[in-house]
Amino acid sequence: MPDNDELERPWEREGSWRKILLSGGALLGAAAAYNAFARKGVDQLTNLIGGEEGGFEWRDRRVAFTKRGSGPPILLIHGIHAAAWSYEWRNNVDALARANTVYTIDLLGFGMSDRPAIRYSARLYISLISDFVSRVIDEPTVLAASSLSGAYAIVLAARDPHRFPAVALIAPSGLVRLNEPVGLGGEAGRLAVDTPIAGTAMFNALVSRPQLRRFLRNAYSNDALVSRELVEIYYATSHQHGARHAPAAFLSGNLNIDVRHALRRLSQPALLVWGEQGSTAPVEEFRGFREIKRDFEISVLSPAGDLPHDERAEDFNVILSTWLNRLSLSSAPTLDTLPGTPADLQHTQQLS
C-alpha cells in the first residue's frame, strides 16, 4: 500500500500549479486583449441633444445635464439599462422647450456623467435626483421618467408633492417588474461583472454590437429604426471608462424598488404613457398602476414598443405638451382631452 506521502493530489504538485497559473494568466490575457479591442475607436461622449451643457458636483462626482428653453421646468430622466443615457430624449427636447425649461440628466454611472466604482442603489439615485432638483433647478419641477427611473419619480413625488407637482411616467416599473430586492445570486453577479478584467470582458460581451442591435430591436416595434448609427451611439456610451459599474448593480437587482406604497400616497397629477407593442414592459401593466391610482391619465401609443417617447416622438410630444399646458393653466385634469388613451377606459381613445 503506498505511503501517505506518495498519495499527493494532482493539484498539490508544483507542475500542476504552474499549468493552472499559466492557464489562468492566458485567460486573463485574452480577456484584457478583448477589452482593448472592444474599446478601440470609441471616443469620449459629446452632447447629442443640444441645449446648454452643465455639470452638477454631487458627492465629489460630476453629473452631466443639459438645459434648454424657458418656462415651467421639467426634468427628463432616462431609463436604466446597460447602455442608458439621456440620448433617448433627443427627439423630445426641442418640442417641449417651446413652452418649458427642459432639463435632461445623465444619472451617475451613465452617459457623460462620472462612472465611479461605488455601490449603486435605488436610494442613491433617488437622492441624486432630489438634490439635483433642489440645488440646480431650485423650483417645483415636473418629472418625466422612463422604466426604472419612473419608479424613482413615483417615490420622489409621493415624498415631496410641493417640489414635484406632477409626474409623467413612460412604461414605469416597480409593481411587477424590477420590484424585488436583490438576492444572493444577483449580488454574486454584480461582483463578477465588477471585477477589473474578467468582469469587463463579461460586460463587453453583453454590450457588443450584435447584442445591442438585438436589444434595440426588442425595444422598438419597428426594426427599421435600429440603424447602424443608433447601434454605434449606444455602443459608444456602453464602452466608456467605468461603464460596467452601474449596469452591474442594475443586472444584480440592486437598483430595484417596489413603488406600491408610494403609489398609494401619490396625490398630484400623473400621466402614464405606454407602447402597445412593448415587450419588456407589456402594455397590460398599466392596469396595475391604475388600480392603485384611479386618476392616472393614460395614453397608449401604437405601433410603439418600450420607448414610445422615441419611437412615436411627435405624438408623444403633443400628448406631454398638452398635459403640461393644462397643468400650467391650473385646470382640473380630464381624461377626454388627452389623445392616445386605451379604448377600454371611459372617456379615452387610443392613438395609432
Share of the chain above pLDDT 90, in %: 70
Question: Distance (Å, rounded) from C-alpha 86 to C-alpha 136?
Answer: 17
When pLDDT is averaged across residues 43-71 and rounded to a whole number, the result is 97
Asked if 103 and 145 touch (Cβ cutoff 8 Å), the reply is no
Q: How confident is the model at residue 296 (pLDDT cuts 50, 70, 90)?
A: very high
Specify the amino acid at residue 239: H
Question: Which among 307, 338, 342 has a CA at the least distance from the CA of 324?
Answer: 338
Specify the range with the lowest mean pLDDT, choosing from 241-245, 318-322, 344-348.
Answer: 344-348
Question: Distance (Å, rounded) from C-alpha 79 to C-alpha 172?
Answer: 9
Question: Which among 45, 29, 34, 78 has a CA at the least distance from the CA of 206?
Answer: 34
pLDDT, residue 3, reads: 53
Residue 324, pLDDT above cutoff 60:
yes
Asked if 32 and 196 touch (Cβ cutoff 8 Å), the reply is no
Residue 253 CB neighbour total at 10 angstroms: 19
Q: How confident is the model at residue 192 (pLDDT cuts 50, 70, 90)?
A: low
Tell me the three cell numbers of residue 8: 499527493
pLDDT, residue 194, reads: 63
Question: Distance (Å, rounded) from C-alpha 150 to C-alpha 145?
Answer: 5
Name all domains of the chain by residue range, CATH numbers in brackets: 52-180+255-337 (3.40.50.1820), 184-252 (no CATH)
Q: Within a 13 Å sphere around the CA of 131, how many CA atoms are in the beta-carbon half? A: 13
Specify the range with the lowest mean pLDDT, choosing from 64-68, 251-255, 331-335.
Answer: 331-335
pTM value?
A: 0.84
Question: Distance (Å, rounded) from C-alpha 79 to C-alpha 85?
Answer: 8
pLDDT, residue 351, reads: 46
pLDDT, residue 191, reads: 57
pLDDT, residue 42, reads: 83
* Residue with grid cell 454574486, as numbered in its chain: 188
Question: Distance (Å, rounded) from C-alpha 104 to C-alpha 145?
Answer: 10
Tell me the three cell numbers of residue 43: 471616443
CA distances from 313 to 50, 174, 303 (A): 16, 24, 12
When pLDDT is averaged across residues 96-117 and rounded to a whole number, the result is 98
Specify the amino acid at residue 327: L
CA distances from 240 to 12, 189, 305 (A): 42, 21, 27
- Helix ranges (DSSP H) in the chain: 14-39, 93-96, 122-132, 148-159, 184-194, 198-206, 209-219, 228-237, 245-252, 260-265, 286-292, 308-311, 313-328
Q: What is the pLDDT of residues 209-255, one digit of tens each?
A: 999 999 999 999 999 999 999 999 999 999 999 999 999 999 889 99
Residue 331, pLDDT above cutoff 60:
no
Asked if 140 and 328 touch (Cβ cutoff 8 Å), the reply is no
Question: Distance (Å, rounded) from C-alpha 35 to C-alpha 304?
Answer: 35
